[in-house]
Structures are given as C-alpha cells and as structure tokens.
Chains A and B, each alone.
Chain A
Amino acid sequence: MSNDTTTEPAQPPAPASPVKEPAASGLPSWAVQGLVSLSAIVLALVVGAILIIVGDDEVKAAVAYFGAAPQDTLSAALTAVGEAYKALAVGALGGLNPIAESLTQATPLICGGLAVSLAFRTGLFNIGAQGQLIIGAILAAYVGFAWHLPPVLHLVLAIVAGLIGGAIWGGVVGLLKARTGAHEVIVTIMLNYVAIYLLQWLLTTTAFKRPGREDPISPIVDSNAQYPQFGDTRLHVGFLLSLLAAVFVWWLLNRSTIGFELRAVGANADASRTAGMSVGRAYLVAMVVAGALAGLAGTQQVLGTDLPLTDGVAASIGFDAITVALLGRGTPLGTVLAGLLFGALNAGGLQMQLQTQTPLTLTTVLQAVIVLFVAAPALVRSVFRFLPKERGSGAVLAKGWNG
C-alpha cells in the first residue's frame, strides 16, 4: 500500500485499501461455523435418505419391476423418506411433549459432553465419561434409596454423592497420568469396564438389590431425592443443572486462573511447564472436574429420568458424549447446542422407529455423519460452493498423541 504524500497531501490515509484479507469472508466466524454445521446436517440427512430408501420394504418391492414402472420406485422412495423424516421432526419438535422429551434426552448428553470437552481443552482425551457416569449414578442412587432424609437436603446430598463418585473415577485417571504418565486413553477405557462390572456386581448384592426381584434392579429412589419434574413430562430440573454446568465450565475455562492453566497445558504442555505451571496438577484438576460433570449426568439418569438403578443406566451416553463434545468443538456453548441437537435426534428417532419402523440405528448414522462433515469443513465446502471460507482452521482440538 503506497501512500504517496508528495502529490496528494489532502487525500485521507486511504482506509478503503483495495487488498482485503483474502481468506476471510465478511461473516463472523461463529456465523460461518453455523453455516457449515447446517450444511453438514443437510448432507447427513441426504445420506440418511439414501439409507432409508435402500432399507424400505416398499421400495424393495417396487425395484423388482423397476424396468416396467420406474416412477413407482421413485414415488415409493420419496414417500418412505418423507414419512420417516416427518416422524423424526414431529417426534423431536412437534409440540410440548416432544420438545420436553428432546430436552430430557439432551440433559445427560450436555453434562457428559462438557466432561469430555473440558478434558479436551486440557489436552486429555476422556473416553471415560461412561465409567464416571456409572460410578456417579451408583452413589447417587444409593444415597437416594438407602437414606431417608427431608426434601431438598436429600436431593442435594444425592447429587453431591454423584458428583463425588464421578470426580473420584475421573480423578484416578488424572492422578495416574500426572504421577506415572499412564496414558489416559487406556486408563479411561479400562476404568469404563471396571465400572460396568462393578455395577453388575453391586446389583447382585443385598445392599443394592430390590427385595423380591430377581433381575438386576435397585429399589426406587425416594421421592425426596428425585429431581422435580416439569408438569406431566419426563423433563426434570436436571436439565437446568446441565445449563448451569455449562456456564460453570465457561467461567472456569475463560475467567478463572486455573482455567487459564488448563487451556495453556492443553495448548502446549511443554511450554506451560517451562512457564512454571504444574502440568500434573492441571491434569488432575481437569479430570476431577470432568469426572464430576459426568457424575452429574449419572445423577440425572437415576434421580430424574430412570429412578431405579439398572445395569443399563449409562446406555451409550458416555460414548455419545464424545461425539457431542466433538461437534461442540470443545466449547461450552457448542456442547450445549450439540447436546440439544443430539437429544432432538434421539427423541425424534424413537418416534420414527415407532411410526415408520425405520430403525433407531439410523439416527446413530446421522449423528456420525454430521460430526464427520462438521470436522471436515473443506469437504462440506466442496459440496456447497457458496459457503464462505473460515478464518483459521477452526480445529481447536487438533493435536497428536504426545499432547
């Protein structure tokens, strides 16, 4: 940019330089990310539509005489896709009850997702939300059905028990990583299995088994220890705690001193160590808090959604939480939004299975494809040419094994 002052001194210093930043579009980065995510959802729905068409019985029947009447195949395909997606949408958002169900499904996913996100930002890959959730659920349920306390106090203590359980299970991982360098991926995977078998064993003991029942199920949690429900829906106060947890994680990461250390260690552990931070302590703190968050998800399952403790209490929440965290790009707000989306897909998927016999496994595919496309913005952009380019890579989590 040449600003020749000798010839035209009166000229203002040319703020409208013709050469703008070439890569960045005019849109703020959150808007670009939003567009990419929306496009990813559209692409995922296309993939899902193909699977619905392939799997639909009437389409299969119409294909048999495709040569004679190809329009039959086409219309059968369109009907199948239309009906399935309509059921999905109605099941997720069509009215107060479906919305409440979507939020209920989202509740533990948000907390679990936060547990994975927080560890991620510290450079740890927490595959162990499942185990942490189970231990949290065990302790919360035990306090919930074995103790008998006044309202509010009982619920608070049960929640605290769940938080402690998860924190211990996560903390062990952080401690081992900090003290011995044991790889958190292995330790969390292994502790997931330990938690599952511990739960199965506990459900055979007299302390946990419901009297008069042979199957592995605990007594029902006292009503004083249950999360209050909203109206006649399954939605409970645990959902609000999920949102509070997200605010807390945002505050922790972006406003607190320890959060700064966590992010610094996550960005570059060696540099942080050189700068005088305790990397080991950061690992421990991150895993304790992550464990507590997963434990909170456990309390939401046993004190809100399910009530008795069973061996299926965790379902696949711990694992879904990883995809939620990935879709949310490790940020609290992103995790909440991703959790809501996945919750809606789960709730809608159940309705879709009920109405059109399209298996629930289809929503699993949808979720995976959405995350896959969101993680590869370049691919999405090669399909949708109009999408603006993002500033920076947007891949906050890109780092290797050695952290």
Chain B
Amino acid sequence: MSDTTVQDTVREPAPAAIEAPADRVRRLRVGGLMLVFALIGLGLAIVTNGGKATFQLVSGDLQNNLLGVPAQPVAIFLGLLGLVAAGAYVVRRVPQKYSGWLAVVLGICFIGAFLCWAAAGKTFPLANQFQGTLNFATPLILGALAGVLCERAGVINIAIEGQFLVGAFTAAVVSSMTGSATAALIAAAVSGVLMASLLAVFSIKYLVNQVVLGVVLVVFASGITGYLFDQFLQEDAENLNTPTVLSAVKIPGLGDIPFVGPILFNQTILVYLTYLAVAVVTFVLFQTRWGLRVRAVGEHPKAADTVGIRVKRVRYSAVLWAGVLAGLGGAFFTVGYAGSFSKEMTAGNGFIALAALIMGRWHPIGAMVAALFFGFATQLQSQLQIIQTPIPGELLLMAPYLATVIAVAGLVGRVRAPKADGEPYVTE
C-alpha cells in the first residue's frame, strides 16, 4: 500500500509504472462494471426501433425548438463510444488522471443511448428533464452542504431530515401568516439553526453519541411537526398552511442563453441561494482561516487545541451555520415547490442528502454532483413514466436508489470521513 502513496506524490507516474495489487483490483472491478454498462447501452441501441427520437429543448414548446435525431444510429454510436471508453479504462491506455473522465464519458453515453431507446418514435421533454433535476437536487444540495459543514468540523449530522422538516414547517407557517417570502426564508433558516443547536449542545456539551442523536432528532422533528400539524395547521389551514410559493426570477442576460438560460437562470431566489451556498461553502472551507480551523477540529481536535484553536467554539459555529443551510433546504419543500406543508413531506430526502454527502466524499462540490446525479435519476424516472416505456413505473422508481448503490459500491468504494468525525472532544 505504501507504494501507492509514494506514487501519488511523484508528479506524473509513468504509464508503465508498476501497479499496486489493490489498485489493480479496483481498476478491474470498476472497469468490469463500466463494461457491463457499456454492453447494456449497446444492447439497448440494438433493440431501439428505427424511428426518430425527438427532444424538446424548451419546456412547454411542442412546435419549435425540437431536436430530432435518428434514434438507432445515434444510440449505436453512443453505445460504441461508451464501449471504447470502458475498454480504455480496463486496459488503461490513458494517463491515470484522465481515467475519471472515461467514467463520465461512459455515463453520458449510457444515458444518451438509454434516452434514444426510450424516446424512439416519441418526444422526450429534455428541458423538463434538466429543470426537474435542478428542482429535486436543490434541497439535496443544501442538505448535503449542511452535512459537509458539520462533519468537516467533526460532528456527524444524521439529523438533516429533521432540520428539513422544521424548515419546511416554519416556512409554510410564516409565509401563510405574513405573506412575505423573505420572512419565510429567514424563519426557516432560524428554525434550522434551532434544530442544529440541539444537535450542537447535545453532541458538544453533553457528549451524546452523534449517530444516536441524529436519529433521535429526526424522530423528534417528525413528531413535533406532525403534532403541531394535527393540532393547528389542519384546523386552521386557511391562515396557517397556505404559503405563497416563491416565484421564479429571471436573471437578465444569463436567462436568455438558449436552452441553458431558462433552466439555470429563471429560478426562485432559493435556487440562486443554493448556487451561492455551494460557492461560499467551498471557498470558506478551503480558502479562509475559519475553514482551516473547521477542518482542523474535524481531523485532529487535540492538535488544533494545542495551537490555540477553541475546538468547541469552532464546532458550534460550524453546526449552527449548517443549520441555516438545512433550514433553507427545508423551506424548498413548502415555499419553494409544493406549497402547503404535510406530515413527513420531506420523505427521506434528508437521508438522501446524507448519502450525497458521503458519495461526494465530504466535499461541497462532490456533494453537489452527487445530489445532481440523484435529482437527474429521480426526474428521469417520472419523465419515463409519462412517455411510457415497457418498464413498470415502480421498477423505474427503484432506479435512482439502485444506481446509488452501484455507484457507491463500484465507483466510490472506500470513503474516508474526517478523522475525528463523530468523536466528541473532551478537554482533560
């Protein structure tokens, strides 16, 4: 194993460098998995019927802006390209640092071939697909970022689901009572911070096991929002549970870019806040002194303490800021998307955000990519149900979850959390 670490520090390993056995196993396993997908893609291409696949580039526009492609030739081309990418990965004819891109190429080819197969002779709403991806991913990204902040500081956050729930609840109630979107978002953030402060106090002060704590806080949040819903919101829905859904704000200029513009830059303020959050969290964590401290107390609190960093204070601040993000993520469910609050409406999305955070290896960008992947798969499933494929809807619903298992087992593999993640810090 020590060979690999030495290799990594050398600038560019020669293509003929001796491969450590563990790396070889990993390359063959990942490569094998890629080959399987490439062959499935090719198989789909072969059974694609000869019609034209039409992709709708602007949502709602069925006359213009259509992209028609001959389904089978394109699918076969993509299938072969994917096969080449997978093959290249297995025999390793490319420098190591590009091999990750081969997986990306294969992924795009596979999805492209799949779409050609599904859309042959039909119209596939491609713009809706990306729009929906962003919708599903927005709360996941915010939740995963909240998790990144907490866990980089050494506090496990399984309670994202609970923070979502109270955020969603508070945003709905405050929006209904005041009619103000700003007030609703601020209230959601505050309620997220309150939930996060429970996490912080119990884990940092009372040294409660953080996995335990997270699960309990989820149950607590679901109980308390459920109870308040039963006792108040249901009886007086008119005044308490009729929030105004945020309206989309088009950014001048950027919003006019063809295809991408309406999808990315004609969104609600919450989505823009999400873009901002990704950038800010990445910058703050890796470029500022506070970020360095957060990472230090998450990796080696004792060392951080020795050099004068106040471990507990840094942890409190990281967890509370995470509460802001998770609370906003929760607001998306009510004022950002669905409107009224209903019991347990976050439906496990907090746990999926947790999965995205682990898949993204505790990095904000990685977490965002994982969240987008999940959003894409979820949206694809509902689109395919609309255009009708031979696959039953329930099985399509499984796809994102199975894909995550395959991705985690086959591609991500052994991940390493921040070293002190989950370990309370006790000063002696």
Contact with B along A53-82 (1 / 0, CB 8 A): 011000000000000000000000000000
Chain B residues, Cβ within 8 Å of A372: 202, 208, 213, 216-217, 220
- Find residues 374-425 in chain B having any chain A CB closer than 8 Å to their own CB: 392, 394-395, 397-398, 401-402, 404-405, 408-410, 412-424
- A 157-186 to B, binary, CB cutoff 8 A, 1 in contact else 0: 000000000000000000010001111011
Alpha-carbon gap, A198 to B209, bound state (A): 34
Flag whether A243 is at the interface (Cβ < 8 A): no
Other-chain contact of B420, A182, A185, A364, A400 (Cβ < 8 Å): A400
Q: Judging by beta carbons under 8 Å apart, are B223 and A401 in contact?
A: no
For B326-350 the 0/1 string (1 means CB < 8 A from A) is 0000000000000000010000100
- Interchain residue pairs with CB less than 8 A apart (5): A186-B358, A362-B227, A372-B217, A379-B206, A400-B420
Q: Which of A96-104, A189-197, A231-239 contacts B (4 or more CB under 8 A)?
A: A189-197
Task: Identify A319's interface contact among B211, B219, B227, B414, CB under 8 A.
Answer: B219
Q: Select A368's contact among B216, B410, B424, beta carbons within 8 Å.
A: B216
Q: Which residues of B contact A189 (CB under 8 A)?
A: 348, 351-352, 354-355
Q: Assuming A186-B408, A371-B212, what are 17 further A-B pairs, CB within 8 angstroms?
A: A55-B232, A125-B211, A183-B415, A187-B409, A194-B401, A194-B402, A198-B398, A201-B394, A323-B215, A361-B229, A362-B223, A364-B227, A365-B220, A366-B223, A368-B217, A369-B220, A400-B421
Contact across chains for B413 and A361 when beta carbons are under 8 A apart: no
Residues of B within 8 A of A (CB): 29, 151, 156, 202, 206-209, 211-213, 215-217, 219-220, 222-224, 226-232, 343, 348, 351-352, 354-355, 358-359, 392, 394-395, 397-398, 401-402, 404-405, 408-410, 412-424
Given A361-B223, A364-B222, A399-B422; A186-B397 close (CB under 8 Å)? no
In whole angstroms, how far apart are the Cα atoms of A200 and B199 in the complex? 35
Whose C-beta in chain B lies nearest to the C-beta of A172?
Answer: B405
Q: Which residues of B contact A393 (CB under 8 A)?
A: 207
Residues on A with C-beta less than 8 A from B410 are 180
Binary interface profile of A, 294-330, with partner B (CB < 8 Å = 1, else 0)?
0000000000000000000000000100110010000
With CB as the reference atom, state the residue of chain B lying closest to A127.
Answer: B351
Contact B215 A322 (CB under 8 A): yes
Q: How far is the CA of A363 from the CA of B219 in the complex (A)?
A: 11
List the A side residues contacting B405 at CB < 8 Å.
Answer: 176, 182, 186-187, 190-191, 194
Say yes or no for A204: interface residue by CB 8 A criterion.
yes
Contacts of A204 in B (CB 8 A): 392, 394
CA distance A331 to B392 in the complex (A): 43
Least Cβ–Cβ distance between A80 and chain B, in angstroms: 11
Q: Is the CB of A398 within 8 A of B215?
A: no
Q: Are A368 and B420 in contact (CB under 8 A)?
A: no
Contact B227 A359 (CB under 8 A): yes
Q: A interface vs B, CB < 8 Å? A: 51, 54-55, 125, 127, 176, 180-183, 185-187, 189-191, 193-194, 197-198, 200-201, 204, 319, 322-323, 326, 359, 361-369, 371-372, 375-376, 378-379, 393, 395, 397-402
Residues of A within 8 A of B398 (CB): 193-194, 197-198
Q: Which one of B151, B207, B401, B413 has the greatest number of beta carbons of chain A within 10 Å? A: B401
For A176, the chain B residues whose CB sits under 8 A away are 405, 408-409
The interface residues of chain B lying within 8 Å CB-to-CB of A323 are: 215-216, 219
Q: Is the CB of B423 within 8 A of A191?
A: no
B359 in contact with A400 (CB, 8 Å): no
Find B413's partner among A51, A182, A191 (CB 8 Å cutoff): A182
A375 close to B220 (CB less than 8 A): no
**Which residues from A are CB-within-8-Å of B223?**
361-368
* B29 (CB) vs chain A CBs: closest residue: A180
List of 6 A-B pairs having minimum Cβ-Cβ separation, nearest first: A181-B414, A400-B422, A364-B223, A201-B394, A55-B231, A361-B226
Asked whether, in the complex, the Cβ of A376 is within 8 Å of the Cβ of B202, the reply is: yes
Residues in A whose Cβ lies below 8 Å from that of B417: 400-402
Q: How many angstroms between the C-alpha atoms of A367 and B221 in the bound complex?
A: 12
Give the distance to chain A from B246, nearest Cβ to Cβ, in Å. 28
Instruction: Report the minimum CB–CB distance from B409 to chain A (whole Å).
Output: 4
The answer on a CB contact under 8 Å between B211 and A365 is no
Residues of A contacting B402 with CB < 8 Å? 190, 194
Q: Name the distance in Å between B401's Cβ and chain A's nearest Cβ.
A: 4
CA distance A127 to B348 in the complex (A): 12
Q: Are B394 and A182 in contact (CB under 8 A)?
A: no
CA distance A127 to B156 in the complex (A): 15
Say whether B231 contacts A359, CB under 8 Å: yes
- Rounded to whole angstroms, the CA-CA distance of A378 and B232 in the bound complex is 34
Give the chain A neighbours of B355 by CB distance below 8 A. Answer: 185-186, 189-190
Find chain B residues with CB under 8 A from A181 CB.
Answer: 413-415
Q: List residues of chain B with CB within 8 A of the CB of A371.
A: 212, 216, 219
Max chain A Cβ within 10 angstroms of own Cβ: one of B206, B229, B354? B206
